[in-house]
Structure 1
Amino acid sequence: MVSNLLSSLKNRNSCFFQSMGIILLFALNSCITADKSIAYKFKDETQSFDERAKDLVSQMTLKEKVSQMRYDAPAIERLGVPAYNWWNECLHGVARAGEATVFPQGIGMGATWNAPLIFDMGTAVSDEARAKHHKFIKEGKRGIYQGLTFWTPNINIFRDPRWGRGQETYGEDPYLTSRIGVNYINGLQGDDSKYLKLVATAKHFAVHSGPEKSRHEDNYHTSNKDLFETYLPAFEAAVKEANVHSVMCAYNRFRDEACCGSDLLLNRILRDDWGFKGYVVSDCWAINDFWEPNKHGLVETPAEASALAVSRGTDLNCGSCYDPNLNEAVLKKIIDEEKIDLALTRLMTARFKLGMFDPDEAVKWAKIPYSVVASQKHYDLSKKIARESMVLLKNENNTLPLSKSIKSIAVIGPNANAEQVLLGNYHGTPHNKITPLKAITEKLPNATIYYAQGSEIAEGWPLLETIPADCLKNGNSNGLKGDYFGNINFEGTPKFSRNDSVIDFGWMNKKPIDNLETDEFSIRWTGQIIPKESGTYRIGIKARSGAKIYFNDTLKAEFTNDHDPKTGYFDQELEKGKSYNVKIEYTNYHTDPQAHLLWVKTDKDLLNPAIEVAKKAEVIVLCLGLSPEIEGEEMPVVLEGFDKGDRSEIELPKSQIKLLKEIQALGKPTILVLLNGSALAINWAADNVSAILEAWYPGEFGGYAIADVLFGDYNPAGRLPVTFYKSVNDLPDFKNYNMENRTYKYFKGDPLFPFGHGLSYTSFEYTNLNIPDEVTINNDINVNVEVKNTGVVDGDEVVQLYVSHKGKANAATRTLVGFERIHLKAGEAKKVTFNISPKSYALISDEGESLVEPGSLEISVGGKQPGFKGVADTPTSGVITKIISLIN
């Protein structure tokens, strides 16, 4: 109202109106200043959060409202509204905010098949998040990754192993995903009747799982059956069971509508059918895809894009499209201001529910001490989850566990001592990075441990190492000169300059510049590189945010605004003893900065040294797999088998297959350990290697979990949350979102390892299955079974319950409807009970309707799916099936 009135006065030509305008401007400014003492309703803690939010929004001008709908919302000082950045991450631990406990990646969380354990993890993560947030506030910091609104969990369905972001999910099954997701959300959001501990965000809504390189332009279509049976159940559970307070819409279109502008998804399903009361946030810069060239092409201008998104229910913009374009959209009557008010009220309600406008004394979560961050209790939990995520794929002739009396062991492979593969993507900065090599070395203090890298992670992607001080020069000193600036533009005089012997920094609590009031700084390093060997080198700077590297005064590599640590690199011929000028310009505006100057001689022999150390050892542990450096979110990586974050093939990279075959040919006991975020077609290994352990991206203590399993200090019981296929040729086109011939439910071929597969060092027997022969439709089905540990080792068993509709067209082969992870001592037996609701055993029709009809229903209970043979079977566990009748 104020801005409109002033605009009207300025358009008058009369001197009288101009004079009155000046007088009125002074008067209004006085009123605005006086606003600080007004007893606003939104400051009254006795009012409901919704009423307080409505009142706060009613005090704002249009410009102020719009400014609060972007992720980096500025302060409104006259109303006492502090700046707030909505963007935060905690996929598997608090991410990008300095020190934090790093838990196993999402796919490893799914592999535990232990939903209550993931609730405990959510509680630990939210403890750390709350403690960090309040510490930041006390330091006057309100930037990115410092708030209480977290864009987690990723509950998309991992329908295709080629998807690089599948590592973030809990696997391919809607039920397993929903149980893990609901428990994680509950742990994150807390149990207080008044205040949210955090805001969790279920993402990416919906029908979203790659390809990464075309996500800004793709338009997917599915049947209603696939939509309601596969893609929506985990989101429905997050809303209805966990009361998730935020949902993130996806980049792609679904049935011609952008997901962030979809009336079907955001209004009819999410709000009308499910009763969602929270707010919707766009994926980052997704609204730009509405109008930018060669993307969705839905509208022509940013104002139209912003209006479309808000009118369809996207309240918060991760990006810069809403502000200032929503102002224009309102003035041009493309959207009513009332819709702006509705969206902003939802956002402000969330901030009130988090206690952001109330004193800390009133919010119990504000009392969590900082000592919980990276605490021993959380370390122990991370180790436990890592252990429970280990999946023993094969163990022929009881190759495992290994004896600790081994005199010598060779630990070989590109993932044997690689720290990044412990962490996956979207991770925090850990104090510990326990690789398999480190853990095995600690486990066997009296043995001789040999190590060799053996191969690149993939051809054309060598593993870089820190450039040592004796290959860097700065005048007469080893190292580089570092000029440290208190801004991100290298402006003015440096705060200080010093010699840094190596560039290998991961700052956590303490920034490199003391008493820095913000998280923004820059560093310029200069000097020379002097190699000790001639050859072809890959040289790179790995950093969290922006970095440039100059070589002999020429810009060679750069990147900016990166979400996860990334390496900008170039290949260069270097001569032994020759001096080359190098300059690195590093800028930081995140909260856990890191900078590493790296290189590797790319033409050195990796294979033969590995063969030589393998010959010396009694046993070989071969650590292969993938890396988050080459599979992940929309990456620039293009290699054979890899396509900008995704994979075009699902076999091990050729360099690793060659290493595997050469080592296996030695005829020595060889154990294959896989570290990866997605399923691998390890067909040759499955036929030829006696023991295979799947370890995923297992977190900062992952190496300990691996060593504990290898040497029998822990009995593995993880289960595959995805199907391991034999070839990409067995799968439909990557962009085909129909579920036909996908996942364990509809795949028609023979998998290498099936969903739910996992071995143990003991064995389990199933008896006394108790299920009624007949059940009247729309009644629950009660299932009881006795499980006994028939071996001599204590261990966990994952009891899996599946239903199959016999004789029904288009029905899944089987559907997971229940599971429970139990611990049994050697010789112990337990009764396990399940209750299958009508919704769980219903069929989803082609129209997307839930149908419960008379017919035959096969129920299977066991530690695996029934019907597999050979390496795909789980000989350490049993299964019982029974066919019952559903009657009217």
Structure 2
Amino acid sequence: MNFNRNRGTQFVVCLASFRLILVIALLFFSSCTTNEKEVPSYEFKFQDPSLKIEERVQDLIHQMTLTEKVSQMRYDAPAIDRLGIPEYNWWNECLHGVARAGEATVFPQGIGMGATWNAPLLFEMGTAVSDEARAKHYKFISEGKRGIYQGLTFWTPNINIFRDPRWGRGQETYGEDPYLISRMGVNYIKGLQGDDSKFLKVVATAKHFAVHSGPEKSRHEDNFQTSDKDLFETYLPAFEAAVKEANVHSVMCAYNRFRDEACCGSNLLLHKILRDDWGFDGYVVSDCWAINDFWEPGKHELVKTPEEASALAVSRGTDLNCGDCYDPNLKEAVLKKMVDEDKIDLALTRLMTARFKLGMFDPEKDVKWSKIPYSVVASKGHYDLSKKIARESMVLLKNQNNILPLNKNVRSIAVIGPNANSKPALLGNYNGTPNNYNTPLKAIADKLPSATINYALGSDIAIGWPMLHTIPSSVLRNGASKGLKGEYFKNRNWEGTPELIRNDSVVDFIWTLERPLENLNADDFSAKWTGQLVPNETGKYRIGLRAGSAGKLYFDNELKFEFSDDHRPKTEYFDIDLKEGQIHDIKIEYYNYHVDPQAQFVWAKMDQDLLTPAIDAARKSEVVVLCLGLSPDIEGEEMPVQLEGFDKGDRSEIKLPRTQIELMKKIQALGKPTILVLMNGSALAVNWAADNVPAILEAWYPGEFGGNAIADVLFGDYNPAGRLPVTFYKSVNDLPDFKNYNMENRTYKYFKGDPLFPFGHGLSYTNFTYSNLNIQDMVSTGSDIEVSVEVKNTGAIDGDEVVQLYISHEGRPNEAIRTLVAFERIHLKANQTKKLKYSISPTQYAIINADGKSKLEAGVLVISIGGKQPGFKGLSDTNSTSVLTKRISLKQ
């Protein structure tokens, strides 16, 4: 009995233990079930960040209707609320800093970047610009803003060949040489897109594909032809490098036709070359409204309807439409069997892949780039980088008798010229809005606080194009006050009661972070200014309004002009005779719906004597700095401007405008030490200056700190080392027809004439000597050619040298005179020597034959290395550096 009782007790204990274990297990499994329920649930698979991007993209597209698909193929893609897809505007610019999106660091224009010959520096710049882009994007998103210029897909860089100095948009490029452009472009793209294995930092866009470099006025109808040799040797290498080396995620197709096909509807360019041959797997975006050119009268007229145009573009590989052609015409094209819906899905796959790779459908905390603080925007580090690039872009073209650098102890200096105090001449086109405008005048005054600065405008930028400046408060009236009455509205249409009424002494506003109204959550607002203009001098005037979005100007109750937004700041004006003291009613209506609002009420007196004050300023000064050149107001993209020497954005002449030549000659005749500073986006035939002015500095459009870079070079605080990325010709007569895209007699590679200043030219304040060149005497074709050389700074001061390695095929008249195959910017202290090594690959010394194929052939190869091209004498030579040359044999 006791035994059995013990057994029963043991059984009860065991049963109780089992029950306890069972309860614990149930609790454990219940806990697991509870944890599983805490895992986020998603309405759609594409919302799950743990899935592969490919799977998410396909799920998203599967959820869309045809109408929704088409809507996402326009640059201003609307929201799809039922899928939780926010609106997205694909249009952003960052050619030389984040553009049109409020405050940003403004770097030198693209042509100035090319003049640095410093490819790694462009990687640094790309990193800085994309930092600002990411920081701005998240700030915009936090404020509920998703409009134009607020996204992460940037239509940069412009890697077209600057084959002709007449092209107004050449300023956006890195120059005329395919290799130089490719190195610059690859580095900038890599800096922009970042190095994260999962998420792109931003999307870069290589443009304009392809064979595109003017003229601007006929780009919507032109049909260009080239040989296969020129196509593959000149026009395509930079794009190929962008795709294969930099993995650029977007390509923009060009306006023009090439070999009868519109570039945005080209089987050759978009299918065979870009995707089949190069393996490009990103998306293609059209240049803006380029698809309309397919059918609109007077343009390409390839098809007759917008539906056909949309179908053609998509079927040939243009995925995204900057314009209004795809939506709704693409839907109609599918329904009418002009294009398969599969083509729509393919295009949309490419587009949505980009958005997923940018992290737009993932939690911000999971995206590496979301950690970038807004404080990077216009930060000291980025300012320092902009200053560095501006300095490195300076090209000293001439320095007779070492007149430069100037002595800082000078007691008086004249700073004269239309670009001496010009803000546009700092910025170029496609620019951002800086917090600094350090013009040459300001920078020289800052550098010489004890000197007397005598400033004069001297001349208009060109005949019929005066320098417009803000209309001062002294001639504006608002009742008893000076200035105009300003009324500000929180809507786009001046409706209702103004939120703010105040007196504005002048209308000269560039709003960056701030807005004119507090608690303005949107970028849509409007303003109205009213009052009177009372001129204090009789004469002919040009009166204008510069605005970032759109506006109207009424003069004596008459509407003088009205302009609506075309996504970039612009100036409209009218000319009128005014009498001193006569009162004129003024009303300005302005509205903004972008994030870079600005409005300036400007004028210029057309018939005033600018020359006499300039001569007086020079006479009472010890030295003269002449700031001449061009302006992005008259050279640029498809402009309405038609002046002597200028043709709707392009140039019909390449010399300085007559107004400036006259000023230069009058000033030089005074016998004062005179320095010419050029600010421009393209090569200038400054022949008279080259013969008569002792020093010439090429400064391009140098960014917000450009004036500082100019002053630093002029007064010896920086030793210049920039090199020309383009040939400076002596006359437009040296050039083939502008529309002729054959490379014969173009650029340093094929130009047989005598240039004013050659490609690669640039002086220094020190001297560099090359020695101990070592190259094999004979190389088997297919093998690398190894080159070594020593470079010594033989001068008394530290400085940079730009090493340039060229090859020439001797005895082959159809080949380039020489071809750049390597370059490097190095720093050498005084008396320092460096040994450098380079390797020339078979691809680089191969010949591109008539079929566009790369071919290795036996023969004699001439190799030159130095700080310049070989073979130039006189003014075209660079006496502060040397060059060595060797002939070697290529054997099969």
8 Å CA contact retained: 2:398, 2:763: yes
8 Å CA contact retained: 2:61, 2:69: yes
Deviations 1:286-317 (A, max 9, x none): 00000000000100000100000000000000
1:515 Cα offset (Å): 1.9
1:404 counterpart residue number: 408
2:8 counterpart residue number: none
8 Å CA contact retained: 1:425, 1:564: no
Counterpart among 533, 542, 565 of residue 546 in structure 2: 542
2:826 counterpart residue number: 822
Q: Does 1:462 align with 2:452?
A: no
**In 1, Cα distance between equivalents of 2:559 and 2:188:** 45
1:28-427 to 2 correspondences below 5 Å = 39-427=43-431
**In 2, Cα distance between equivalents of 1:485 and 1:622:** 44
Q: Secondary structure at the match of 2:233?
A: helix
1:809 Cα offset (Å): 3.7
8 Å CA contact retained: 1:719, 1:755: yes
1:597-616 to 2 correspondences below 5 Å = 597-616=601-620
Q: Secondary structure at the match of 2:68?
A: helix
1:782 counterpart residue number: 786
**In 2, Cα distance between equivalents of 1:144 and 1:468:** 33
8 Å CA contact retained: 1:503, 1:596: yes
Counterpart among 706, 710, 713 of residue 710 in structure 2: 706
**In 2, Cα distance between equivalents of 1:800 and 1:38:** 58
Q: Does 1:682 align with 2:686?
A: yes
8 Å CA contact retained: 2:77, 2:88: yes
8 Å CA contact retained: 1:764, 1:797: yes
8 Å CA contact retained: 2:42, 2:48: no
1:43 Cα offset (Å): 1.4
Counterpart among 554, 558, 561 of residue 557 in structure 1: 561
Letter in 1 for 2:766: T
Q: Secondary structure at the match of 2:385?
A: helix
Counterpart among 758, 763, 788 of residue 759 in structure 1: 763
**TM-score normalized by the length of structure 1:** 0.95
1:813 counterpart residue number: 817
1:868-887 to 2 correspondences below 5 Å = 868-887=872-891
Q: Secondary structure at the match of 2:582?
A: coil
2:749 counterpart residue number: 745
Identity of aligned residues (%): 76
**In 1, Cα distance between equivalents of 2:122 and 2:258:** 31
Counterpart among 635, 643, 646 of residue 647 in structure 2: 643
Moved more, 537-546 or 174-183: 537-546
8 Å CA contact retained: 2:868, 2:881: yes
**In 2, Cα distance between equivalents of 1:563 and 1:825:** 47
Q: Secondary structure at the match of 2:139?
A: helix
1:146 Cα offset (Å): 0.1
8 Å CA contact retained: 1:544, 1:562: no
**In 2, Cα distance between equivalents of 1:482 and 1:299:** 50
Deviations 1:27-62 (A, max 9, x none): xxxxxxxxx975322112222212211110110000
2:579 counterpart residue number: 575
1:483 Cα offset (Å): 2.1
Q: Secondary structure at the match of 2:690?
A: helix
**In 1, Cα distance between equivalents of 2:670 and 2:722:** 30
**In 2, Cα distance between equivalents of 1:757 and 1:326:** 51
Q: Does 1:629 align with 2:633?
A: yes
Letter in 2 for 1:886: L
1:707 Cα offset (Å): 0.4
Q: Secondary structure at the match of 2:450?
A: coil
8 Å CA contact retained: 1:227, 1:848: yes
Show structure 1 runs of 5+ residues with no match. Answer: 1-35
Q: Secondary structure at the match of 2:696?
A: strand
1:565 Cα offset (Å): 2.4
Give the number of aligned pairs. Answer: 853
Counterpart among 835, 839, 848 of residue 839 in structure 2: 835
Q: Secondary structure at the match of 1:858?
A: strand
**In 2, Cα distance between equivalents of 1:416 and 1:147:** 35
8 Å CA contact retained: 2:152, 2:203: yes
8 Å CA contact retained: 1:67, 1:73: yes
**In 2, Cα distance between equivalents of 1:833 and 1:41:** 54
Letter in 2 for 1:476: A
1:430 counterpart residue number: 434
Moved more, 574-583 or 485-494: 485-494
Letter in 2 for 1:523: A
**In 1, Cα distance between equivalents of 2:55 and 2:470:** 56
Show structure 2 runs of 5+ residues with no match. Answer: 1-39
Letter in 2 for 1:535: G
Moved more, 238-247 or 456-465: 456-465
Moved more, 530-539 or 202-211: 530-539
Q: Secondary structure at the match of 1:834?
A: strand
**In 2, Cα distance between equivalents of 1:57 and 1:164:** 41
Q: Which 4+ runs in 1 deviate beyond 3 A?
A: 36-39
**In 2, Cα distance between equivalents of 1:817 and 1:752:** 23
**In 2, Cα distance between equivalents of 1:510 and 1:148:** 22
**In 1, Cα distance between equivalents of 2:701 and 2:388:** 14
Letter in 1 for 2:658: K
Q: Secondary structure at the match of 2:864?
A: strand
**In 2, Cα distance between equivalents of 1:711 and 1:517:** 47
**In 2, Cα distance between equivalents of 1:499 and 1:714:** 45
Q: Secondary structure at the match of 2:613?
A: helix
Letter in 2 for 1:857: L
Deviations 1:669-722 (A, max 9, x none): 100000000000000000001100000000000000000000000000000000
1:489 Cα offset (Å): 2.2
Letter in 2 for 1:585: E
1:659 counterpart residue number: 663
Moved more, 852-861 or 471-480: 471-480
Deviations 1:421-480 (A, max 9, x none): 000001111010000011111111111111001000001000111111121112222111
1:531 counterpart residue number: 535
Letter in 1 for 2:709: A
Q: Does 1:520 align with 2:524?
A: yes
2:7 counterpart residue number: none
1:492 Cα offset (Å): 2.9
**In 2, Cα distance between equivalents of 1:807 and 1:554:** 70
**In 1, Cα distance between equivalents of 2:680 and 2:782:** 42
8 Å CA contact retained: 1:162, 1:648: yes
1:161 Cα offset (Å): 0.1
**In 1, Cα distance between equivalents of 2:60 and 2:496:** 41
**In 2, Cα distance between equivalents of 1:836 and 1:51:** 43
Q: Secondary structure at the match of 1:393?
A: strand
| Structure with max Cα Rg | 2
1:559 Cα offset (Å): 2.3
Q: Does 1:856 align with 2:855?
A: no
1:25 counterpart residue number: none
Q: Secondary structure at the match of 1:137?
A: helix
Deviations 1:381-413 (A, max 9, x none): 000000000000000100100011111110100
